[in-house]
Structure 1
C-alpha cells in the first residue's frame, strides 16, 4: 500500500481525490463508492466527513476556490475594473482545470469562511469607488454569473482543453445550416476561440456595470 493511501483520511484528502476522479469520470460518473475505492477505504468511512454527495461537492468547490485565490495576484492599486477582470479570468481558469468544473462550482456552498477575505476586499474596493453596497453586490454577482454560465456552455463543447464533444464540428454545422447563411457563419463565433469570446464578453459586462451605475 502506498504512503498516500496510508495517510489519514480527512476532508481535504477526500476532496483532492474527488477532483482527480472528476477529470476522468465527469460529474455524472463521480460516486462516493468510486472515491472510497480510490482511497482504499469502505464507502461508509466517507460519511464521517460528508453526509451526502452535495456536501462533498461543496468541499470540492471550496478547494477549487482556495487553489484559484492562490494563483491570482491582486494589486492594491487595482481599480474595480481591474479586480473584476482578474477575479473572473481566474475563476474561469479554475473551472476549466477540471471536467465539469463549472457544474461542480455552480450552486455549491463554501464550507468555511476563506472566501470572505477576498469578498470583503472586493466590496471595499467597489464601495470606495462610489458604489453602494447593494450595487457592488449586484455588479460582482453579474460578472460571476456571466463567468459560471459561459464556462458551463464552454465545457459542454470542450469538457477539457483539447477535447471536443461529438456534434460540434463547425464545417458539418455550416453544411446543415446552408439555407441560413448568417446562422451558419455564426458557428465560428459561438463554438470556437473561447478565450477571445470570454475576454470580449467580460468587457461587455464591465462596460455595462459602469454604464448602469455611473461608476468612474
Structure 2
C-alpha cells in the first residue's frame, strides 16, 4: 500500500467531481488514478488521503450520481402519494442519463445501503399518507428494482426516439411490432413515467387503498 501524504492537497468531494468530469467527457476507460491526479493538478499519492483505491472512488461516484444529485420532491403526504414516487423516479432517471458514461460504474459499484438510508423518511411519508406498513417493503423494494433496472438499461443504450425504442425493427418480417411503434404516442421518458405509475396504482387496486385514499381526502 502506498504511503499517504502528510497533508491533503485536495478534498474528497473535489476528487469525486473530477472523476465524474473525466468519465463524462472521456469515457470510463480513460479513468485512472494517474488521470485523475493530472486533472486535479496533484500527484497520485495525494489521492490516498481520501481513498484506499480506485474502487472506493468509483463507489463514491455511484453514490453521488444515483443519490446525492437526485432531487427529492417536495410533496406533502396524502391520497396522491404515488406522484411523489413518480417524481422521484423521474429525477433519478434524469441524474443517471446526465452521466451515461458512468452507467457501468453504477452497475458494479452502487452501494447497497444508498437507498436504505432514506427509507425511514419514505416509510413515514407512506404511513402519513394512509398506506399500511405491511405494504411499505413491497413499494420501496419494487420502486428500487424498477427504477434502477429500467434506467440503467436505458443508459447503456444510445438515446432513442419514439420510433427507435425497439431498434432495427424490420417492417416486412416484424409488421406487428413496427405498427406498435408507429402507434405508440409516448417518449421513452413518458413510458418510464407510466410504468412507475402503473406499478403503484396496481398496489392501490390490489389492496383496496382507493377507498382509503378517498376517505383521507374527504376527511
Q: Deviation of residue 14 (structure 1)?
A: 0.5
Structure 2 stretches of 5 or more lacking a match? 1-7, 211-219
How many residues are paired up? 196
Query: Aligned partners of 1:54 and 1:212: how far apart in 2?
Result: 42
- Larger Rg computed on CA atoms: 2
CA contact (8 A) 1:88 1:144 kept: no
* CA displacement, residues 125-145 of structure 1 (integer Å, 9 cap, x when unaligned): 223323225x31221221222
Q: Deviation of residue 209 (structure 1)?
A: 2.6
CA gap 1:172/1:60 in 2 versus in 1, 3 angstroms: closer
Query: Aligned partners of 2:26 and 2:143: how far apart in 1?
Result: 29
CA gap 1:170/1:85 in 2 versus in 1, 3 angstroms: closer
Query: Aligned partners of 2:167 and 2:104: how far apart in 1?
Result: 28
RMSD over equivalenced CA pairs, Å? 3.3
The residue aligned with 2:174 is 180
Query: Aligned partners of 1:67 and 1:208: how far apart in 2?
Result: 29
- Please report the TM-score for the alignment, with normalisation by the length of structure 2: 0.73
Structure 1 stretches of 5 or more lacking a match? 1-6
State whether structure 2 residue 142 is matched by structure 1 residue 142. Answer: yes
What SS does the corresponding residue of 1:63 show, helix, strand or coil? helix
CA gap 1:45/1:115 in 2 versus in 1, 3 angstroms: farther
- Please report the TM-score for the alignment, with normalisation by the length of structure 1: 0.74
CA contact (8 A) 1:95 1:102 kept: yes
CA gap 1:189/1:41 in 2 versus in 1, 3 angstroms: farther
The residue aligned with 1:119 is 119
What SS does the corresponding residue of 2:70 show, helix, strand or coil? helix
CA gap 1:15/1:210 in 2 versus in 1, 3 angstroms: same
The residue aligned with 1:16 is 17
CA contact (8 A) 2:9 2:46 kept: no
State whether structure 2 residue 199 is matched by structure 1 residue 197. Answer: no
The range that moved more, 177-186 or 194-203, is 177-186
Q: Deviation of residue 115 (structure 1)?
A: 7.2
Query: Aligned partners of 1:40 and 1:104: how far apart in 2?
Result: 24
Query: Aligned partners of 1:185 and 1:34: how far apart in 2?
Result: 48
State whether structure 2 residue 191 is matched by structure 1 residue 215. Answer: no
What SS does the corresponding residue of 1:173 show, helix, strand or coil? coil
CA gap 1:29/1:205 in 2 versus in 1, 3 angstroms: farther
Query: Aligned partners of 1:172 and 1:82: how far apart in 2?
Result: 31
